[in-house]
Amino acid sequence: MTDIVAQALSLWGLTGCQTTLLAERENHVYRIDSAPPLALRLHRRGSRSTAELLSELDWMAALQAQGLSVPRPYPALDKALCHQIDGQIVDVLGWVDGVPMGIGGRLNPALDGPATYRALGQAMARLHILSDAWTPPAHFTRHAWDAGGLVGDAPLWGRFWENPRLTADQTALMVQVRDKARVLLAAMPGHDFGLIHADLVVENVLIGPAGPQLIDFDDGGYGYRLFDIATVLNVTLREPDPAPLQQAFTQGYLATRPIDLTALPLFQTLRALTYVGWIVPRLSEPGAAARHTRFTALACHMAETLMT
């Protein structure tokens, strides 16, 4: 057990509880074997400010209170929702049990694919409905997956067109599609926009008795609702037959909340482009070369289609 974990347990009145490290992705996540079990998150240094994390927790608490299946923030002994320990922000959430929707980045074969994706579409639509009905507190601050956050001079996940492993032709294509996307986004200022999860990949969904449970709101913020939908649809492209899954997901969403899907190809392209930027600071990590190849191939394919 690290000193930070021990100090966090003390702040939450959980000293003596067994902890198990479960994830070392963007954040370190520990299971706390308390009664009931809880999840301790150690956030990646410099990734989010305290104000941003408090906003995320306020949002999750509001969604959970309105019946959406998301983790419930668990306050410390002093009622604070997060603390900073030796420069690292920590918080605690209620534990979420369920069957993982994804295994190794693909749909869990034990699940009924179309039924699961249909339910996920319904859950995402409810997330958008409940978020629109909620009035955030005055201090609420989250980043924006808007035109600037996607194709501006400083996109949230990096300047994808400057990825050092792109070929000259790929770089030229990235610049061309970036410029076209800027024009297209400027023509839709009133498009469906609000709070989105922004990372609803299969790793961030657990299937419980009542349906999908949405976790990991770390990338959540303001954005185009079609960008949220595009994230899910792009992940289905890893499956042998994505069409039935995509159809089920969109049917589930539309049965719950109306949305104009006309611009969906643009947002699927934008989602693919973000990963070409995201991988840059992670190129030295194990498995990064294969992911870079996959991300770039999809982004180039979608960019070429959008440019025709």
Query: Considering 53, 71, 96, which residue would you say is the last residue of a domain?
Result: 96
CATH number at residue 50: 3.30.200.20
Query: Considering 67, 96, 125, which residue would you say is the last residue of a domain?
Result: 96
Q: Are residues 92 and 120 in the same domain?
A: no
Range of 286's domain?
Answer: 100-307
Per-residue pLDDT of the chain (308 residues; tens, 9 = 90+): 589 999 999 999 999 999 999 988 778 999 999 999 999 999 988 788 999 999 999 999 999 999 999 999 999 999 999 999 998 999 999 999 999 999 999 999 999 999 999 999 999 999 999 999 999 999 999 999 999 999 999 999 999 999 999 999 999 999 999 999 999 999 987 789 999 999 999 999 999 999 999 999 999 999 999 999 999 999 999 999 999 999 999 999 999 999 999 999 999 999 999 999 999 999 999 999 999 999 999 999 999 999 99
Residue 235's DSSP bridge partners are: none
Q: Are residues 214 and 285 in the same domain?
A: yes
Q: Are residues 72 and 119 in the same domain?
A: no
Cα separation, 255 vs 266, in Å, equals 23
Q: Are residues 264 and 124 in the same domain?
A: yes
| pLDDT for position 282 | 94
Q: Are residues 280 and 196 in the same domain?
A: yes
Q: Are residues 144 and 87 in the same domain?
A: no
Q: Are residues 234 and 166 in the same domain?
A: yes
| pLDDT for position 2 | 81
Q: Are residues 111 and 74 in the same domain?
A: no
Q: Are residues 79 and 147 in the same domain?
A: no
CATH number at residue 277: 3.90.1200.10
Q: Are residues 65 and 119 in the same domain?
A: no
Q: What are the DSSP calls for the chain, one per residue?
A: --HHHHHHHHHTT-TT--EEEEEESSSEEEEE-SSS-EEEEEPPTTTS-HHHHHHHHHHHHHHHHTT---PPB---TTS-SEEEETTEEEEEEE----EESEETTEE-TTS-HHHHHHHHHHHHHHHHHHHHH----TT----EESHHHHHSSS-TT--GGG-TTS-HHHHHHHHHHHHHHHHHHHT-TTSSEEEE-S---GGGEEEETTEEEE---TT-EEEEHHHHHHHHHHHHTTSSSHHHHHHHHHHHHHHHS----TTHHHHHHHHHHHHHHHTGGGTTSTTHHHHHHHHHHHHHHHHHHHH-
Q: Report CA torsion sign: 155, 156, 162, 165.
A: negative
Query: Considering 62, 81, 96, which residue would you say is the last residue of a domain?
Result: 96
Tell me the two tokens of residue 249: 């997901």
Q: Are residues 15 and 76 in the same domain?
A: yes
| pLDDT for position 1 | 55
Number of domains in the chain: 2
Q: Are residues 42 and 146 in the same domain?
A: no
